[in-house]
């Protein structure tokens, strides 16, 4: 069975602080995909990043960076110099890599509030 | 290119009424997914289609729920009769599995309230 745990239910930071959102996953598969989605107050789900299990390179996109560590089954997300527009619920998700296994298993989400 | 389109954005109905939610996927995408989001259960996959054919409907909660995809550009999720516990945000998502770009793109959601 697959499982995604986002232990931080809510985080509050002051603008310009760095913040890391944790994601720990469980799977028996050797190959899989990990995702992060953002859900701002307006409600839509916005795709941020996809990571393949065979690619452990960390990735940086502007103020966003992701740290994938297979050894600890973690895929953490860091926002550097946070801004008010980063306030949202962030979801980590997991998917099998095999054909016919397209279901995303989502974590419960972490609500990030960035205070001006 | 337009994203996934869902209608209506908000729906308020009385218990026992039929509700139909609509989705237009991104053009060229061959997979379509229906999800439900509630505070208690988070995001749950209800059903997904590949090339308009339902592949896995194991997440559909009851026979009151049905989904169709008559063509590549349109899908519906119907609840008949609706109940207060069906109140949730329903998302439609689409993706293209033909390449390595497999991520699902979500629509804005339909917020359903059943009174």
Residues 6+ apart with CB under 8 A from A37: A45, A46, A47, A48, A90, A91, A93, A106, B106
CA A76-A81-A86 angle, 5° bins: 70
* pLDDT attached to residue A40: 95
B113 interfacial to chain A (CB closer than 8 Å)? no
* pLDDT attached to residue A90: 98
Residue B14 to residue B5: CA distance in whole angstroms: 25
Q: Report pLDDT digits (tens) over B36-61.
A: 999 999 999 999 999 999 999 999 98
CA B91-A100-A105 angle, 5° bins: 45
Mean local confidence (pLDDT), B13-21: 97
Q: Is the pLDDT of residue B1 over 70?
A: no
Of residues A61 and A21, the one with the higher pLDDT is A21
**Is A108 in Cβ contact with B48 (below 8 Å)?**
no
* pLDDT attached to residue A1: 77
Nearest to B91 among A33, A45, A100 (CB): A45
Q: Which residues of A touch B43 (CB under 8 A)?
A: 91, 104, 106
* pLDDT attached to residue B98: 64
Residue B61 to residue B44: CA distance in whole angstroms: 10
B107 interfacial to chain A (CB closer than 8 Å)? yes
Q: Is the pLDDT of residue A92 over 70?
A: yes
Q: Report pLDDT digits (tens) over B74-113.
A: 999 999 999 999 999 999 999 987 656 678 999 999 999 9
**Is B109 in Cβ contact with A106 (below 8 Å)?**
no
Q: Which residues of B touch A109 (CB under 8 A)?
A: 42
Residue A112 to residue A109: CA distance in whole angstroms: 9
């Amino acid at each position: 069975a697959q499982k995604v745990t986002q232990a931080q239910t809510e985080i509050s930071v002051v603008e310009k602080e760095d913040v890391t959102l944790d994601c720990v996953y469980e799977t028996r598969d050797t190959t899989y995909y990990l995702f992060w989605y953002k859900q701002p107050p307006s409600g839509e789900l916005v795709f941020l990043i996809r990571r393949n299990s065979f690619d452990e390179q960390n990735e940086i996109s502007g103020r966003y960076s992701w740290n994938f560590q297979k050894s600890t089954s973690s895929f953490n997300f860091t926002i550097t110099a946070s801004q008010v527009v980063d306030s949202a619920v962030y979801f980590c998700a997991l998917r099998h890599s095999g054909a016919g296994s397209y279901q995303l298993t989502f974590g419960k989400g972490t609500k990030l509030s960035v205070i001006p | 290119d337009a994203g996934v389109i869902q209608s209506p954005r908000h729906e308020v109905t009385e218990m026992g009424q039929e509700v139909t939610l609509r989705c237009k996927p991104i053009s060229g995408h061959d997979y379509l997914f229906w999800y439900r989001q509630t505070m208690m259960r988070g995001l749950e996959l209800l059903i997904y289609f590949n090339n308009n054919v339902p592949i896995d409907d194991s997440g559909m909660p009851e026979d009151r729920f049905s989904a169709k995809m008559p063509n590549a550009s349109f899908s519906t999720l119907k609840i008949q009769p609706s109940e207060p516990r069906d109140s949730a945000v329903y998302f439609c998502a689409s993706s293209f599995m033909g390449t390595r770009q497999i991520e699902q793109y979500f629509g804005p959601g339909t917020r359903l309230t059943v009174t």
